[in-house]
Structure 1
Amino acid sequence: MDTAAVRRRLKATAALLRLDEVAGRLRGRDLTALVARADEVMADTYTFSKTWDMERCRTPFTLPAGAYDWNVVNNDDEEWCFMLNRMDYLEDLALVALATGEARYAEKAAALLGSWIDAHPTIVPELSTRTLDTGIRIRSWATALPALEAAGALSDELLALVVASIGDQIAYLREHYVPKYETSNWGSIQTLGILTVLATIEDDPASDGDWAWATERAESQIAAQVYPDGIDWEQSTMYHVEVLLYALCALSTLEAQGAPLPRGLRKAAARLSRALAAQMMPDGCIDAQGDSDRTDVRGLMALCAGVLGDCALAAASGRSELDPGDLFAFGCSAEDALRSAEECGEALPLTFDGMDSGLFVARSSWGADANLTEFSSGPLGSGHGHSDNLHVTAVYQGSPVLVDGGRYTYREDSSVRPFLKGPLAHNVPLLDGRSSCVPKGSWGYSDFGYPLKTYARHAGGAHYFEGALVGHDPLHVLVRKLVALDCGIWVCADEALAEGEHELVSRLHFDPEVRVEAVGDGCRVGCAAGELALGSTGALELGSEQISLDYNALSDAALVQARIRFAERGGQLWWLAPAGVAVTSVPVLRGGTEPVDPALAEAVRFDVAPDEFYTVAVFHGEVYTGVKAFALEGVSFHAKAVVVHGVGEKRELTVLRA
């Protein structure tokens, strides 16, 4: 390819991004962390702690200046080498060069480009050239190139080498493409990365033979990977985000350059964005669901709003500016679009029912002090998916209380890794304290249960989720029926059916910042928003386990287990309610007068004020004999789950499960 033509293209891309204006906007913002990262690289020192680094390592390692071994393994983890070879730190260097006007940052980026190319005269399989990292690397090169060209850091010789290497790497990706990439984030990152790169450096990218191949594969991947409800099939929020990021990048670049879009790309990006927003906790973070970290997604929501022009996403982000790295990569037009969308005032729905993925969310508001519930019970997904069927995450007035255990590491020799993937690391019911879902090593499973479809209903300020998991040895069914009230009360009925005598165990993991202590038959739960009371009809046992909210990091966290013995069929209730709320068991009356056996139905009353209460009733089985008319707090009903809200003499019935 003619280097003069590539230079013209890079200048045109810089004009589309309005890099001169980007530089001015950046100088008015806090770039302390960004400059610190760039300065580390200037000293040949690397940490990987950016928001969407897939395998973070906060421990610094210094490489020999000018003599990199691009296959080096540090931190006893090959993932460190993979992070090094993704080379997204080139974007940091180019951005800082643009913002500060200091050419040395651009010159360092150019030197690193030359070093990598010199070390890879041909692209062959090795640690430094995994296909995933190759797709990420060429996209990072393309993002940095317009700014490096503007800084005068690209000699004719280096630019020719870069263009040739990009061509070699794309050929390598095509040669090593395998069928599993159709449903893997590895595949979409590669193909969408190729399209982004070609649209950046070529005048007529659609005439390139690689363009047609990448487009065809991207269209197939989009259809396969993104469920109709907008959740990525791999069942891991971190990798949902990776697919979304590359979709946004390709969408923005191709539209700006006037290149044709793969079929379904914009709709998929919109669905992925809305589904991610639904999972955002009130503090702006996602829970560490699947192979994920506790990560703030508000900056990404702002980017989604800017690229897609989505008013509701703009409101959810609470931002009027893009993060510096996003402004650099996507340009001023994306930030201008964010500001325009911000003025629309549209709000996202308060509930999300992922009927395809099995992920359900309900929140009391979009405020920072909202109460939120996530219920997860869907298909396993990929190797990044965890056996978290029937898991519940609970956030009280903006403070995470019950949380997911995270992932910690991908190392095959770690015993923590398969444990955190397994049911014991999640907030789930278990038969005899074990499960049919058995992780094997870092990526596989030796066994798994059969999840049934979740039932969900939202009525006013009450939400109901019901899921079931079929296990074996012995054959059994675990059922969870969860009622979440917007006022900050959770009532859960865990049930099990199995021949013989067994123990039902409900495991509850708390955020590391939450303090739990035993008080009488229950527990006092202290979080930043205040105190809650945890109670159960089973026996509560308080302990602790380690969870991981960040890759390569473990934290001690409280664990509470509720236990009950049963024969053939049994269940227990557990609940969380604000401290000070009086909690009492009340009868469900058959025919208005006869208390039913608790084995059939149970009810708990929560007095939230002197003249206001909520009473929640859940049936554990079908009513097939006797009178089928029931009453609760003087209100008649026939249903399997109801809430009665009383204020003074007024009573209001809400049916959640018929």
Structure 2
Amino acid sequence: MDIVSARAKLREAAALMRVGEMGERLADRDPSTLLARAQEVMADTYTFSKTWDMERCRVPFALPKGAYDWNVVNNDDEEWCFMLNRMDFLEDLALASLVTGEASYAEKAAALIGSWVEAHPAIVPELSTRTLDTGIRIRTWATVLPTLDAAGALSDELLERTLGSIRTQIASLRERYLPKYETSNWGSIQTLGILTVLATIGDDPESDPDWAWAKGRAESQMAAQVYPDGIDWEQSTMYHVEVLLYALRALHVLEARGIEAPLGLRGATDRLAHGLAAQMMPDGCIDAQGDSDRTDVRGLLALCAGVLGDAALARASGRTQLDAGDLFAFGCDVEDALAACAGKAGAELPLVFDGVDSGLFVARSSWGADANMTVFSSGPLGSGHGHSDNLHVTVVYQGAPVLVDAGRFTYREDSPVRPYLKGPRAHNVALLDGRSSCVPKGSWGYSDFGYPLKTYARHAGGAHYFEGALVGHDPLHVLVRKLVALDCGVWICADEALAEGEHELVSRFHFDPGVRVAPGGEACRVSCAAGELVLGSTGSISMGSEQISLDYNVLSDAALVEVRSGFAERGSQLWWMASGRVRVSPVPVLRGGSEPVDTALAEAVRFEVGADEFYTVAFFHGEAYTGVKAFACEGVSFHAKAVVVHGMGERRELTVLRA
């Protein structure tokens, strides 16, 4: 491509994005954070603290002025170098130039691109040229080049060298493409990045050999990586988001230019967006599931709404404007589409999400900020970003996170914290004798793993039932978790274990760092931002603390509770959480209307939520294969494995959750 054609393509891209309007649109938003980041880069100082920085580092590090060593390692972590070479700080500089009207920001961005190009006359494998980071970098360059051109910061010589480098980097991505990229976010980021770049700067992208290759690979990747239920197979919300972001950008750029998108891209993008929305907690954040951080996703859901024209996503986001960075990357038309979606009445996402493919299940009482929410996770392991979290439960009470995932902390191979946080003991799960067949090995591998069975889910009115099982070995055993969540803010669970010999069943609970846990008789008092809960159990309760990580490179002290019960051959224990105002008491399950059954077979607990209202939940721990098979609880007859009896005055209503 000659320079004249190249500049014409950049100006066409700027016109499509309506770059000239962005400065005015951004004027009514607080630019302080954006400008602070840009000022750091102007001073050759770097922190990585953006919302979707995959490996955050909030500690500032200064690089020597002049020609950078692009392979430098700071914070004693190679991930710092990888973040540097993704170069998305160029977007901060370009944005700052639009907000302030000062060309110096654009000139700095151009100089940094020139520095990288000069340092890499050829692309050879080194820290600065990993394939993942290359895909991110070339897309970043394509994003900022129209603005740098408009600011007069791109000389003909620099533009020519930059376009040549992009071509060399794309050739390197093709040459180094590995079969494992078909199912990895590494692969989709590379191929969707290539499509985005070629559609932005290419004369005739659809006739380009690199286009045909990237499109074919992207079609294969979307089919392989995104489950039919909308969850990315890697089982980590952070990397689910990375695939979503690159899918959104490619889809928007291609559709805006009238170019045929890869087969299945729009459908996969739509499913990913709805799968993410389902995981959003009432405060707008995701839990640190898998290799993830506690991150606010409302801005991203607004972006999804604008690109996809989805009013329900717009309503869930609560936004009518895009975040500044998204406005810059996607353009004014997407923000206009978001505003149009947000104005549509009646659109709302479902209150339940049954991820039958991924094993991720969610129920919430409403889409309000004070909702109760339950996440039950028990699916396949996923990639190296997946954790041993089978039978894990996350609980949010009236908008406040209570039971949470413990996060990831670091990717360093020499850190003992990394494999621990990936392991079962760092999750809210049941264990046989306090250990598991799921054994992480190093930062990315496993030396052993159990066999998860498919989850059973049922939703009836305001009651939700989740049942999952994990088969382990040494000794051969089965762990079963049966969880009932009531929309009124009551959780009760039966944890069960089957194994030859004598053992101990251990259930572990990790609390949000903002939660305080204290003794309360035979139970625990759990204080959170929304009030006080009580955690009770039929087992023996002990309290302590452990460190968890809600942000990369950051550890926080958090309360830990364990519940234990000894058993031989087969055992179970109940645990529950409810408001401290709720009166909790055991209730017999009767056989033949009068004979209380042994609690080894069935148990029931009543929750008195008001002066004249209660919910009683009954579980059977096994099959009733002898004697009279007619059972009753609270005067209501039933024959099922799990039921709820709702009492209001003299009225009784039975809900069967598990036949």
TM-score, normalisation: structure 2: 1.00
Matched residue, 1:572: 573
Query: What CA distance in whole angstroms lies between the structure 2 residues aligned with 1:248 and 1:16?
Result: 16
Question: Structure 2 CA distance, aligned partners of 1:603 and 1:300?
Answer: 43
Residue aligning to 1:108 = 108
SS of the residue corresponding to residue 165 of structure 1 reads: helix
Distance 2:214 2:87 in 1: 22
Counterpart-to-counterpart distance in 1, 2:121 and 2:15: 32
How is 1:384-403 mapped onto 2 (pairs within 5 angstroms)? 384-403=385-404
2:51 equivalent to 1:54: no
Kindly, what percent of the aligned residue pairs are identical? Answer: 79
Matched, 1:485 2:486: yes
Conserved? CA contact 1:191–1:215, under 8 Å: yes
**Is the aligned partner of 1:353 residue 2:354?**
yes
Residues 169-568 of structure 1: pairs in structure 2 closer than 5 A: 169-345=169-345, 346-568=347-569
1:606 paired with 2:607, answer yes
What residue ranges of structure 2 are gaps of 5+ in the alignment? Answer: none
> Deviation at 1:67?
2.3
Match of 2:138 in 1: 138
CA-to-partner distance for each residue in 1:606-639, whole Å, 9 max, x for gaps? 1111100010001100111111111111111111
SS at match of 2:92: helix
Could you tell me which residue of structure 2 aligns to residue 41 of structure 1?
41
Report the CA distance between 1:202 and its aligned residue: 1.2
SS in 2 for 1:603: strand
SS of alignment partner, residue 181 of structure 2: helix
CA distance in 2, matches of 1:15, 1:622: 68
Instruction: Work out the CA distance in 2 between the residues paired with 1:112 and 1:67.
Output: 9
Contact residue 233 and residue 381 of structure 1 kept, 8 A: yes
Q: CA deviation at 1:257?
A: 1.4
Greater mean deviation of Cα atoms: 359-368 or 24-33: 24-33
Residue 645 of structure 2 corresponds to 644
Structure 1: distance between partners of 2:48 and 2:626 = 63
Matched residues in 1 for 2:603 and 2:344: separation? 46
How many Å apart are 1:540 and its aligned residue?
Answer: 0.2
> Any idea what the Cα deviations from partners look like across 1:194-222, whole Å, max 9, x if unmatched?
00000000121111110000000000000
Shift of 1:28: 1.6
Runs of 4+ in 1 over 3 A off after TM superposition: none
* C-alpha distance in 1 between matches for 2:258 and 2:78: 39
Please give the secondary structure, in 2, of the residue aligned with 1:55.
Answer: coil
Deviations 1:162-215 (A, max 9, x none): 100000000000000000000000000000000000000012111111000000
Once the two structures are superposed, what CA deviation does each residue of 1:147-167 show, in whole Å capped at 9, x if it has no partner? Answer: 111111000000000100000
Separation in 2 of the partners of 1:203 and 1:164? 14
Q: Distance in 2 between matches of 1:7 and 1:454?
A: 55
Q: Indicate conservation of the 8 Å contact 1:618/1:640, yes or no.
A: yes
> 1:22 offset after TM fit, Å?
1.4
Secondary structure of the residue aligned to 1:29 is coil
Aligned-pair distance for 1:269?
Answer: 0.3
SS of 1:348's equivalent? coil
Matched residue SS, 2:217: helix
Task: Report the counterpart of residue 151 of structure 1 in structure 2.
Answer: 151
How many Å separate the matches in 2 of 1:483 and 1:306?
36
SS at match of 2:12: helix
Matched AA of 1:308: L
Give the Å deviation of 1:18: 0.6
| Cα contact 1:27–1:100 (8 A) shared by 2 | no
CA deviations over 1:330-385 (Å, ceiling 9, x no partner): 01110111011112230000000000000000000000000000000000000000
**1:47-86 equivalences in 2 (<5 Å):** 47-86=47-86
Aligned to 2:90: 90
Task: For residues 27-62 of structure 1, give each alpha carbon's deviation from its aligned partner in whole angstroms, at most 9, with x where no partner exists.
Answer: 121111000000000000000000000000000000
Q: What SS does the aligned partner of 1:82 have?
A: helix
For residues 568-588 of structure 1, the C-alpha deviation after alignment (integer angstroms, 9 at most, x for no partner) is: 000000000001111000001
Q: Which letter maps to 2:619?
A: V
Distance 1:141 1:591 in 2: 74
SS in structure 2 opposite 1:597? Answer: coil
Q: What SS does the aligned partner of 2:571 have?
A: strand
What's the counterpart of residue 634 of structure 2? 633
2:621 equivalent to 1:590:
no
Name the residue aligned to 2:21: 21
Aligned to 2:620: 619
Instruction: Map Cα deviations across residues 307-338 of structure 1 (whole Å, 9 max, x no partner).
Output: 00001000000000000000011011101110
Q: Structure 1: 5+ residue runs without aligned partners? A: none
RMSD: 0.5
Once residues 340 and 595 of structure 1 are traced to their aligned partners in structure 2, the CA distance between those partners, rounded to angstroms, is 60
C-alpha separation in 2, matches of 1:4 and 1:481: 66
Return the alpha-carbon distance in structure 1 between the equivalents of residues 49 and 512 of structure 2. 22
